[in-house]
Amino acid sequence: MGRSLTHKLIDAHLAAGKAVAGEEIGLAIDQVLLTDTNGIQSWLQFEALGFQRVMPARAVTYIDHNVYQVDSRNTDDHRYLQSVARKYGSLFSKPGNGICHQVHMESFSIPGQTLLGTDSHTPLCGAAGMLAIGAGGLDVAVAMGGAPYFFTMPSVTRVWLTGQLQPWVTAKDVILDLLRRLSVRGGTGKIFEYGGPGLKSLLAAQRMTIANMGAELGLTTSVFPSDDVTRSFLTRLGRGEQWRPAAPDEDATYDDQLELDLGAIVPLVALPGSPDRVVPVNEVAGTAVEQVMVGSCTNGSWHDMASVAGVLRGQRVHGSVSFVLFPGSHRILETMAREGLLADLLAAGALVSEPSCGSCAGIGHVPASGGKSLRAFNRNFSGRSGVKGDAVYLCSSLVAAASALTGVITDPRTLGAPQPVGLPAKFAASTVGIVEPDGAGEIVRGPNIKPVPLGEPVAERLEAPVLLKLGDKVSTDDISPAGAAVLVFRSNVPAIAEHSFKYIDAEFVARARAAGRGVLVAGETYGQGSSREVAAIAPMFLGVRAVLAKSFARIHRSNLINWGIVPLVFDDPTAWDGIERDDRLVFETLRSSLVAGTRVAVVNARTGARFTVSCVLTPRERDILLAGGILAHTKAAKT
């Protein structure tokens, strides 16, 4: 029986378990990437665990979110990250060198290897035939110490591509079409492996867009074969010798198959609130927008920038629009300058930012209150842009460029024939932003950097109030908001905890502190979106001991376990209906039920209603959770 490429990659790195869907497996990790947001906690946790050296062959620490050094707290974090990377063996990517995923794909991707990252969009490198997975910071810290990365083996779906994209249709429209069909929950517990005759027509940059934004489907990761397209991409980067083929067997079997005719896809737009609220662009054409942006790790490639330049060349951005471009890397920006793109873009009235995540995480270019923003980005959860009640639409780079010219959302097919977009024979060989480690120097900590808190062991009996009752699709942006005012505290849990749920309930923190211990109640897909680990650490710090939900997003569920918060799933989802905020829930045998692997009985003290919840754990997860998380478990093992 033939093997899929996914199974080949897993089999080559399997350190524990059996690669059977639903079973826990441990993977050996070849490469690690860390960001300045989630990664700073990973480094603090790495130190707290007592590791002396990064063990994977390649680790890179990126400054890509908090690039704008608005005060000394950002700069202190950067200095800490550079000094800790230098000491323990990680490369350091300086502010302005680019977005981690784009830079990693350009500089370090190697077909056939595994990559673990502290950002949920790490699967972008799956476009190069890697097994690239996003995880919580503590999981990454443990992997940096040399341990396997543990997760539940997903099922593998083959996405069979036929046809070719029509003019003005892009890879962004492909992933938006999948989101329209499957929703943000459609990829939960799955890996998508792309194949079929349509694959050869997709450039590496287009594959990157699809693999990157597969995170919005809830996928564990996405995998593309390493073929001639991959070899051409690496050769243009001067890394052709690192190319190697990676493909499934001809008779490979899969758990499921999804067919997609690229020729049938049209330009699409996601409406404000969620990436899966997708409609054809002509349904919202004419909607006035004040701000248009292209970039992020999803649409910051050379191909995106060149496509925009092709639309804007000789034209002028509409007077009512602020149009901002975020190239994905310094290499792309330098190549744009050498190829003449910058002059054309600047002449048209576009603003070109330094390569960074920037406004994707609400840092800079925050839209005006009540205004509409059109973005070739990946997420549009309410408030993520940095202002409450925002209206952010998601689209392709071509829809964005066309709309920047008219001042309203515009179907680019109305512009006539598109300009052809070519690839440079060679990308700029930019390594000026990468600093090698030498093991020397002292670790420098500014006053904003605080020690990592510890969780506490799960109690046998828990009686606690419901601090919040939440609905479906609560994102980590809802739990711990993005934006410059909050992200500056990523190295300071006590300070960032003060912002928990601030856009949902401004009184949450005070209520949690008054209660001492509390629980949260939520609907489907609690914790979707960013891998933002502080969305688990901060509630734990504020006394949250359990979350009762209809379902959990993969990374957030792991983060909760890693920090000693019990993730409980309603056995009967209708039990959610009978719970109100401030109800006191009683768990008489919480710890013993977790030990035995049985359902947990819950009583609502207000109504007297009884119901059950479940927490299905592997033996490894059970030990970690009962101890109060990985750090607490590790410290207990040493005493």
- List C-alpha distances in Å: 43 to 53, 60, 197: 11, 12, 43
Taking the C-alpha atoms of residue 163 and residue 123, their distance in angstroms, rounded to an integer, is 24
Confidence at 100, pLDDT banded by 50, 70, 90: very high
Q: Is the pLDDT of residue 639 over 70?
A: no
Model confidence at 638: pLDDT above 80? no
- The confidence score (pLDDT) of residue 431 equals 87
Query: If pLDDT is split at 50, 70 and 90, which confidence band does 136 have?
Result: very high
Question: Lowest-confidence range among 526-535, 544-553, 570-579?
Answer: 526-535
- Which residues, other chains included, contact 94 with Cβ-Cβ below 8 Å and sequence gap of 6+? 63, 82, 433, 434, 435
How large is the average pLDDT for residues 553-561?
97
Q: What is the pLDDT of residues 416-467, one digit of tens each?
A: 999 899 899 999 887 899 999 999 989 999 999 999 999 999 999 999 999 9
- Fold assignment, 268-414: Aconitase; domain 3 (3.30.499)
At position 61, the amino acid (one-letter code) is T
Start-to-end CA distance of the chain, whole Å, equals 49
- Domain layout of the chain by residue ranges: 5-264, 268-414, 462-638
Q: Examine the pLDDT at 168 and tell me if it is beyond 90.
A: yes
Cα→Cα distances 410→20, 398, 439, 538, Å: 46, 10, 53, 42
472 burial class (0-12, 13-18, 19+ CB within 10 angstroms)?
middle
Indicate the CATH number of 5-264 among 3.30.499.10, 1.10.10.10, 3.30.930.10, 3.50.4.10.
3.30.499.10
- Residue 486: what pLDDT? 87
5-14, 69-78, 254-263: segment of lowest average pLDDT: 69-78
Place of tokens 């999804």: 258
Tens of pLDDT, residue by residue over 265-287, are 999 999 999 999 999 999 999 99
Q: pLDDT at position 72, please?
A: 87
**Largest distance between two CA atoms of the chain:** 71
Q: Is this prediction's pTM over 0.85?
A: yes
pLDDT, average across residues 29-38: 95
Q: What is the pLDDT of residue 635?
A: 80
Query: Does 488 score more than 80 pLDDT?
Result: yes
- DSSP letter at 294 equals E
Q: What percent of the chain has pLDDT over 90?
A: 91
- Average pLDDT of the chain to the nearest whole number: 96
What is the CATH topology of the domain spanning 462-638?
A: Aconitase; domain 4 (3.20.19)
- Which of 211-215, 223-227, 355-359, 378-382 is the least confident region? 355-359
The domains spanning 5-264 and 462-638 adopt the same CATH topology? no
Decide if pLDDT at 622 tops 70.
yes
The predicted-structure confidence for 317-367, as pLDDT tens digits, reads as follows: 999 999 999 999 999 999 999 999 999 999 999 999 999 987 888 888 889
Question: In the chain, pLDDT over 70 holds for what percent of residues?
Answer: 100
How far apart are alpha carbons 135 and 149 in whole angstroms? 9
pLDDT at 69: 72
Average the pLDDT over 518-545 and give the result.
96
Token duo for residue 598: 């049985």
pLDDT band with cut points at 50, 70 and 90 for residue 206 = very high
Separation in Å, CA 467 to CA 355, 538, 548, 628: 40, 14, 12, 20
pLDDT the model gives residue 53: 96
